[in-house]
Structure 1
């Protein structure tokens, strides 16, 4: 009979192999080490690949710089550029199985050493050549393009190459300089023609000495991905433009500024009147226009930068994408409705990079000569609900009182009177804690007015 304890036998056998736990742990360690080695190996190959591609790009950039240096100073320029010359501003070059996009910009430099224009009468001191290479693929340049810059000076003493200086400033909605905006400059009236795109610097500026003289013919368009745009306009587009194409005069500096910022989204929803319980209204035709004006037409009427006719969909909504920062007004084009209120109040201010919704309350167009829509607000232009609006005309025996709409409703802060005859009415607004406000209103058509209440 054996004297071994049952646990002693198990203990003896445990030394002859691995337990399941030990095997799992070992496998996990193996996988971790293998995965790490694989990741390190992959990073090493990527680093080697990127280094080789960037080396190739740098060689190509140096080659383009040397091509520029081999040109005579008078010929050094880009096609459609300022200065003009034979070098392509953008070209595709295939090298080592990779397609590189080569962007070359050449511009005069007004060196501050000898003063700057307009004090410096000869401000085309030398030329600056900038070559940028970008590429796609497994080792794409991404946000790290290869860029080489060199300055090339004339062999003789500096001379006046003629023309004037274009000085352009790009800023955002807050008035701060905007870096990285694409500024396209076109002039087809000079020889050779100008057609180039330059990126604004960290100060939001594009400065081009040596621009050929021309009268109101430099067309400027400023853009940036995800931003609004700004531009100049010719007489063929706007009769009396507020921002005409730019004139450049010999030895003078021509300045212009442009405002762009991130675009926004604006959604409008149309509802019925308070009396009807604010039902959703579909397929309502609206006119939407901004406050910014680009000029006037032949009749001196303003031409708005944004002015569109739209219709709400089957859900009673319409969404505007890529909207510019501005103040917007909505008008009801559908003759079967009158505007009976809005939330927020009109006009609405749309900021850059904002998503905003507006609700419109519409009432059926009723018989009569007109209607009256009243917005009641405090001294800070904040709409006030539950105020009492009383409209009176003794001769017509008209006396009606309506409360301004509640917060959250499509007619917040508004009171709407319809079926009014053409006449003069007395309007009185009352609200607890505020001084009464009285105004005389002449009705000949649909009228919209704002009444400000001051606290007692």
Structure 2
């Protein structure tokens, strides 16, 4: 049998791998996406050009119509000068909806001098016509603006009236561009009803405003607060600012302030609701450290059987309520057979450091008699505690001492739903009597929390009416009043106690920074009364159950000079703000 051999040449070609496929697909996708984007862009360009052409046509139409009128007829409905052309109208053109705004203003030509320097004292030299046509495109609002001038035939003629100049600024006294200004006066004929917008200098000026009183001005902008003039009423006989008056050949100027609105949330709490943390040793879930001890039969005792070591210890988990205003007492029940004893101590929440004797006297040596007053521990400085116990025996064979339970009592806030509170701003809109721009009564609602939207920047005071039978004992994060900045969000917690006119609320701040000081010692005293408390995490402390009398006060904190005063009058819920100077 004969075999024939064939040589197969390797041409180097191979099939497509998965990587080749992925890369090729990605490249094709990029190409097609680019083509699609270019196509979409071309459509947008064509559409926008079509819309822009329509806007220009509508603007020219209005401009030509105004130019066809006699000089005295050129104006807008309700405007200065008055005319027959609408200030704002909606027009459909080629399936596109446009908004056309027309304004006509008198203008003073700088060629013959401006204002008082005008050579012929005529400042109504010609009329400026402005037509703006806007529409909504895919990219947002677009507009076209046409500006023209109309001059009188022959020599200009003086126009009766004065100048109305409006300036709009923000909280920092900076000009506000594009603020909406509404000017209304129904006591002139024809009546004035203008809606216009400020220029880049935050200004609107009308030359030739008819001499009259009761020009109503309202200034606003989307997302901003509102400012305005006010009428004379029985409730507000002296408004500020009142509706404006324009006199012949005089300039009436008024500045209005608006800025971005803010959000304010108010939460209400009962301040000093008693609460208890307790461990009856049913299990070890509330024990952090056993050192030669154990839980047996619902008690903490020496671990195991005699002979016992001279000492053993146990420490609780951190006792850290979500909110605590004041620590009250430490108490326990134990059994100490002959030759044994148990000492109790309090630690910081991490269990590593004893509460200093300067804060809780004798804590370093321990307490052996229940109960212990721990109200000297400032909750603001020490929001969490741990209980520790040292078990001792002098006789290794003696019965073990044991702890049946231990307890810490404290006071802390709990939500207080449906509490009425008043909120009053510092800005006024009237004098003699004072009328505040914001002065409202609110309720915290079923959730004990109220969020107010679109609130104007101001300094606000929150208070609790005595008709609720409660009084404000603390306000966090800051004492009252509080400043609300533009475009901000602020939350205030109000803590109340049953109303008693003989109370004193003290807040302590650092000089310079004005920061609230936590853990400052505040001693209030007089003959027959002497109590020292520490400021909370909000830098405040509330004294209750006082007499309507004059007290002395002493405020101290490490690193600051001690403050003292012998003239603190307690009457009708007194307030005192103390500033400590650093050493």
State the TM-score, normalizing by the size of structure 1: 0.90
**Pair 1:358 & 2:492 matched:** yes
| Structure 1 residue 14, shift from structure 2 partner | 4.9
1:194 maps to which of 159, 168, 192: 192
- Contact between 2:554 and 2:562, CA under 8 Å: does it hold in 1? no
Which residue does 2:561 correspond to in 1? 434
| Structure 1 residue 150, shift from structure 2 partner | 0.5
Q: How many residues align?
A: 437
- Contact between 2:464 and 2:472, CA under 8 Å: does it hold in 1? yes
| Structure 1 residue 3, shift from structure 2 partner | 5.4
- Contact between 1:263 and 1:325, CA under 8 Å: does it hold in 2? yes
- Provide the rounded CA distance (Å) in 2 between the counterparts of 1:27 and 1:207: 63
**Pair 1:219 & 2:216 matched:** yes
Which residue does 1:378 correspond to in 2? 510
Please give the secondary structure, in 1, of the residue aligned with 2:252.
strand
Higher relative contact order (CA 8 A, sep 6+): 2
Give ranges in structure 1 of 5+ residues lacking alignment. 407-411
Which residue does 1:279 correspond to in 2? 414
| Structure 1 residue 358, shift from structure 2 partner | 1.7
Please give the secondary structure, in 2, of the residue aligned with 1:58.
helix
2:228 maps to which of 215, 221, 231: 231
- Contact between 1:390 and 1:428, CA under 8 Å: does it hold in 2? yes
Which residue does 1:301 correspond to in 2? 433
Which residue does 1:267 correspond to in 2? 265
- Contact between 1:135 and 1:141, CA under 8 Å: does it hold in 2? no
- Provide the rounded CA distance (Å) in 2 between the counterparts of 1:85 and 1:68: 10
**Pair 1:402 & 2:533 matched:** yes
Distance 1:140 1:163, change over 3 A: farther
Which residue does 2:134 correspond to in 1? 134
**Pair 1:206 & 2:339 matched:** no
**Pair 1:80 & 2:78 matched:** yes
- Contact between 1:118 and 1:253, CA under 8 Å: does it hold in 2? no
Please give the secondary structure, in 1, of the residue aligned with 2:215.
strand
Please give the secondary structure, in 2, of the residue aligned with 1:419.
coil
Which residue does 2:109 correspond to in 1? 111
Task: Give me the CA root mean square deviation.
Answer: 2.2
State the TM-score, normalizing by the size of structure 2: 0.71
- Provide the rounded CA distance (Å) in 1 between the counterparts of 2:438 and 2:470: 23
Which residue does 2:448 correspond to in 1? 316
- Contact between 1:73 and 1:154, CA under 8 Å: does it hold in 2? yes
- Contact between 2:552 and 2:564, CA under 8 Å: does it hold in 1? no
- Provide the rounded CA distance (Å) in 2 between the counterparts of 1:143 and 1:287: 42
* Rg larger in structure: 2
Which residue does 1:331 correspond to in 2? 463
Give ranges in structure 2 of 5+ residues lacking alignment. 273-324, 327-410
- Contact between 1:332 and 1:339, CA under 8 Å: does it hold in 2? yes
- Contact between 2:522 and 2:532, CA under 8 Å: does it hold in 1? yes
| Structure 1 residue 392, shift from structure 2 partner | 2.2
- Contact between 1:435 and 1:455, CA under 8 Å: does it hold in 2? no
Please give the secondary structure, in 1, of the residue aligned with 2:101.
strand
Please give the secondary structure, in 1, of the residue aligned with 2:142.
coil
| Structure 1 residue 20, shift from structure 2 partner | 6.0
| Structure 1 residue 22, shift from structure 2 partner | 5.0
Distance 1:51 1:426, change over 3 A: same
| Structure 1 residue 99, shift from structure 2 partner | 2.0
- Contact between 2:171 and 2:259, CA under 8 Å: does it hold in 1? yes
Which residue does 1:409 correspond to in 2? none
Please give the secondary structure, in 2, of the residue aligned with 1:59.
helix
- Extract structure 1 runs of 4+ deviating beyond 6 A: none
- Contact between 1:83 and 1:107, CA under 8 Å: does it hold in 2? yes
Which residue does 2:551 correspond to in 1? 425
Question: For 1:169-207, what per-residue CA distance to the aligned partner results, in whole angstroms no more than 9, with x for missing partners?
Answer: 111111111111011111111101100111111111111
Q: Which one is further off, 227-236 or 277-286?
A: 277-286
Distance 1:429 1:54, change over 3 A: same
Please give the secondary structure, in 2, of the residue aligned with 1:287.
strand
2:579 maps to which of 436, 452, 456: 452
Distance 1:62 1:439, change over 3 A: farther
- Provide the rounded CA distance (Å) in 2 between the counterparts of 1:454 and 1:339: 27
- Contact between 2:135 and 2:141, CA under 8 Å: does it hold in 1? no
- Contact between 2:420 and 2:468, CA under 8 Å: does it hold in 1? no
